[in-house]
Amino acid sequence: MPLHRLKDYYPNYRETLADGQMDSISSYSVYAQGEDKVGSAKDLLVDDSGHFRYLVIDTGPWIFGKTVLLPIGLARFDYDNTRVYVDGLTKPQVEHLPEYDSDMVVDEHYEERVRGIYQPIAQGRSSRQFLGHNYIPAEAQNDSRAGDLRQMPPLGNMASATATPADAVAGDLRRMGPIAAPTRTTTETYPSSLRHDASIYDQETGFYGLSDEDNHGLLRSYEERLAAHRSRNWVE
């Protein structure tokens, strides 16, 4: 799933969030613990569904000239003081993070590298209660798909009650199509990278899940407000 810069996805986000707390993400400073300043926020990245996924950080005070991504769930917001805290972040972690450039395409491999560096911090959020209903564990998704398949009738049962066995077989063969006819695979129709990106954010709650414990309630409301504003503009 492609990622977009906030100002590209929501060109009028400053007006929509004109309450003085997040109308300019670049006004936020980023800290590890206490007064240990890591850098400053430059932008937010959102996915196609309008959810915040990454904070773009200029790590000037720690590593001059390096810009990196921070999964949004790892950012603890202090809106009153325009600060973002990343509890547990270390300078060696930032040194090993892949650099980010606004002109690059953030692909699956890049995101995996980012998550690999932040893994110890994300694991510390495993006990969080996450906001919203869009965060579904992978096991639950598999159970759901299995349930859908179990509810589907066998192919032969689709014939009507009055059909003869020969009719049922013929119907099955018609539905199957020519044996030699090539079929498009799921991978061809939906590249694996797209399937992965579309679901990974919901599965990796330690990285992307929003929670009240990290003061994400306001961020969640901004997300919903921006999505509603964008939807109204499309309708109009």
Is there a domain that residue 173 lies in? Answer: no
Confidence band for 223, pLDDT divided at 50, 70 and 90: confident
Is there a domain that residue 98 lies in? Answer: yes
pLDDT at 189 over 60: no
Angle formed at CA 64 by CA 61 and CA 69, multiple of 5 degrees: 85
> pLDDT digits over 150-186, tens only?
344 433 443 444 445 555 445 554 554 554 444 443 3
* Cα–Cα distance measured from residue 117 to residue 102, given in angstroms and rounded to the nearest whole number: 20
pLDDT at 139 over 80: no
Is there a domain that residue 56 lies in? Answer: yes
Is there a domain that residue 227 lies in? Answer: yes
Strands (E) in the chain, as ranges, are 3-5, 29-31, 37-47, 52-58, 67-71, 76-78, 83-85
Q: What does the pLDDT read at residue 93?
A: 97
Strands (E) in 2-133, as ranges, are 3-5, 29-31, 37-47, 52-58, 67-71, 76-78, 83-85
Q: What does the pLDDT read at residue 116?
A: 97
Amino acid residing at 62: W
Work out the mean pLDDT of the chain and round it to a whole number: 76
Number of domains the chain is built from: 1
Is there a domain that residue 180 lies in? Answer: no
Contacts 24+ apart (CB under 8 A), 99-102: 99/66, 99/67, 99/68, 100/56, 100/67, 100/68, 100/69, 101/67, 102/5, 102/43, 102/56
Is there a domain that residue 151 lies in? Answer: no
Domain span at residue 106 reads 3-132+204-233
Instruction: Give, to the nearest 10 degrees, the angle between helix 192-203 and helix 108-123.
Output: 20
Is there a domain that residue 114 lies in? Answer: yes
> pLDDT digits over 191-214, tens only?
444 444 557 888 898 999 998 888
CATH number of the domain residue 209 falls in = 3.90.50.10
Residue range 106-118: mean pLDDT, rounded: 96
Q: What does the pLDDT read at residue 73?
A: 94
Q: What does the pLDDT read at residue 214?
A: 84
Q: What does the pLDDT read at residue 92?
A: 97
Residue range 200-229: mean pLDDT, rounded: 86
- Nearest 5°: phi and psi at 49? -85, 0
Model confidence, pTM: 0.70
Is there a domain that residue 80 lies in? Answer: yes
